[in-house]
Structures are given as C-alpha cells and as structure tokens.
C-alpha cells in the first residue's frame, strides 16, 4: 500500500539508497501539499486545466509507482 501512496519517496530510496535520506524526507512531507498547490493553481485558471493537471498527476504517480515496484 505505501507504494501507491508515496511512490516518489520510495523510488528515491530505491535509486539513492541511504545517501538520499534528506531528499526522501522532503518528498514524503511535501508530496500532498504540492499536489494541492498545483491543483489549486490550475483550478483558478479553469476547470479544464485542473482536469489536465489531475490527469497528469495520476499518470506521473502511476509511472513512479511502476518504476518503484519493478
């Protein structure tokens, strides 16, 4: 389950090992607030753009989770 919720920090652990611990912790803490900022920014510019940003986030997260699990 954590692979789906936190694909970027877990991918960083896989790629960097213990050397990237600071980056992993920053990604872990900032991941969901950054999604909110991106979607909020896009929603102010129109719901069509917000839909595209949401779709892009879903695709990028899916690719990161797939890369982390492979």
Give the Å distances, CA to CA, from 8 to 28, 36, 47, 58.
Answer: 8, 16, 26, 13
Q: Torsion angle of alpha carbons 21, 23, 28, 34, nearest 10°? A: 180
**Confidence grade of residue 63 (pLDDT, cut at 50, 70, 90):** very high
pLDDT at 14: 86
Average pLDDT over residues 17-35: 87
pTM of the model: 0.78
**Confidence grade of residue 51 (pLDDT, cut at 50, 70, 90):** very high
């Amino acid at each position: 389950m954590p692979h789906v919720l936190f694909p970027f920090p877990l991918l960083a652990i896989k790629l960097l090992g213990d050397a990237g611990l600071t980056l992993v912790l920053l990604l872990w803490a900032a991941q969901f607030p950054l999604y909110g900022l991106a979607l909020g920014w896009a929603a102010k510019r129109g719901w069509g753009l917000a839909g595209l940003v949401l779709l892009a986030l879903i695709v990028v997260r899916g690719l990161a989770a797939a890369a982390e699990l492979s």
